[in-house]
Amino acid sequence: MAVTRRDIVQDAAARDRYIRGVLKLKNEFTGPTTASLGIPGPSRKISTWDLFAVWHHVAMMTMTPPTQNSRNAAHRGPVFFPWHRFMLFQLELNFQRVLPDSTFGLPYWDWAKDGDLPPGQQVTAPIWGAAALGGTGSPVVTGPFVFDPADSKSFRVRIVANVNGQLVQVNRGLRRALGAGVSGLPRKNETSDAVTRKPYDAPPWGVTSDSFRNRAEGWQAPGAPALHNRVHVWVGGDMSPSTSPNDPVFYLNHCNEDRMWERWLTDHGRSYVPAASAPAALAGHRINDAMASLVSAPMRPADVLDMTSVFTYDSLAV
């Protein structure tokens, strides 16, 4: 039976299960070591939560093909939506395992609702409350993800990408700078406009494409960074580098993006481009190409176009 992904602001039970699952995965050390992944410093086990941040970084640093300076294995091209859906699905399975709760669906944050608020109210919206994700700060000092040096089970950031794009080990609290990088979140009229855009993607299959994917990712839009990109910039702090999945809000952002894609697929048909026969220059982004993975066997864009038997959303109103 399909699980239901719910609005984290509207569903306290989904919110509390998400927080509990984050902390469990943050303190589960069954994966590889920093040494085995080439991360400098003492060799330490990597938590399940941190491994997903490493996976995202590796995908961002993998150019597709290697000589292409725009598209990478997860962004700036057609695979943006399928790859992140693959990632969300794998994380959801891990939540279901550790909670344990086979009915758990990742929640989403409908950031455009907050984007319609005045900027001063956006930074105090319910999602940033002490009972939800906590607020802004370097480090964050409210909510469930506060770092306590004396408590080994408290939330701590352990692996980040430095300014040179290299993974390094740290031991510190989570950082956010809500509203510092850009004045406001995306608005409802922007999300509703994006889901009307056709085609899904188009040449030159990058940041200048006139398409739904590019509009929703946030490159080709008035006032860019927009939509997905704007959320990353607005949250700031640990949401800024390639290790942005360190912040639990990362997945709420991408679950909302996935919800937009599901709305698009419902309205316009479960299709994807480029085709398998597209030129080798589009390797990694074609419908039958294996998507970059560190946590499971790879999936293809073709595999994730219809996952309604696995999960649904409580609402597709964007």
Of the listed ranges 7-21, 193-207, 211-225, 304-318, the least confidently predicted one is 211-225
Structure tokens at 312: 């649904």
Residue 78 lies in a domain: yes
Stretch 30-48: mean pLDDT: 96
Please give the residue that has the higher pLDDT: either 65 or 22. 22
pLDDT above 90 coverage of the chain, percent? 95
Stretch 131-144: mean pLDDT: 98
Structure tokens at 19: 């927080």
Computed over every residue of the chain, the mean pLDDT equals: 96
Stretch 130-154: mean pLDDT: 97
Query: How many domains does the chain divide into?
Result: 1
Residue 158 lies in a domain: yes
Q: Is 59 helix (H, G, I), strand (E, B) or coil?
A: helix
pLDDT tens digits, one per residue of 155-194? 999 999 999 999 999 999 999 999 999 999 999 999 999 9
Give the helix/strand (H/E) hosting 313. strand 311-313
Give the pLDDT confidence score for residue 67 in this predicted structure.
75
Residue 83 lies in a domain: yes
Distance, C-alpha 185 to centroid of its chain: 16
Nearest CA-CA partner of 229 in 165, 240, 238, 237: 240
Residue 142 burial (C-beta neighbours within 10 Å; 0-12, 13-18, 19+): middle
Please give the residue that has the higher pLDDT: either 221 or 39. 39
Give the pLDDT confidence score for residue 266 in this predicted structure.
98
Q: Which residue reads 């086979």 in tokens?
A: 102
Residue 83 belongs to domain with CATH number = 1.10.1280.10
Residue 317 lies in a domain: no
Separation CA 90–CA 60 (nearest Å): 18
Residue 34 lies in a domain: yes
Stretch 59-86: mean pLDDT: 92
227: left (phi over 0), alpha (psi -120 to 50) or beta: left
Nearest CA-CA partner of 211 in 81, 301, 85, 308: 81
Helices (H), the chain: 12-26, 48-60, 80-98, 111-115, 119-122, 188-194, 212-217, 227-235, 249-268
The interaxial angle of helices 227-235 and 249-268, nearest 10 deg, is 170
Which band of pLDDT confidence, cut at 50, 70 and 90, is reported for residue 31? Answer: confident
Give the pLDDT confidence score for residue 62 in this predicted structure.
95
Separation CA 89–CA 304 (nearest Å): 9
Which band of pLDDT confidence, cut at 50, 70 and 90, is reported for residue 58? Answer: very high
pLDDT tens digits, one per residue of 189-244? 999 999 999 999 999 999 999 999 999 999 977 777 999 999 999 999 999 999 99
Q: Which residue reads 């009972």 in tokens?
A: 131
Indicate if the pLDDT at residue 65 is higher than 90.
no
Give the helix/strand (H/E) hosting 158. strand 157-161
Stretch 63-78: mean pLDDT: 89
Q: Which residue reads 């490493």 in tokens?
A: 54
Give the pLDDT confidence score for residue 226 in this predicted structure.
94
Which band of pLDDT confidence, cut at 50, 70 and 90, is reported for residue 46? Answer: very high
Residue 318 lies in a domain: no
Residue 316 lies in a domain: no
Give the pLDDT confidence score for residue 15 in this predicted structure.
98
Give the pLDDT confidence score for residue 5 in this predicted structure.
98
- Which residue range forms the structural domain that includes residue 220? 3-311
- Complete DSSP assignment for 1-41: --EEE-BTTT-HHHHHHHHHHHHHHHT---S-BTTTTT-SS
Indicate if the pLDDT at residue 9 is higher than 80.
yes
Separation CA 50–CA 157 (nearest Å): 8
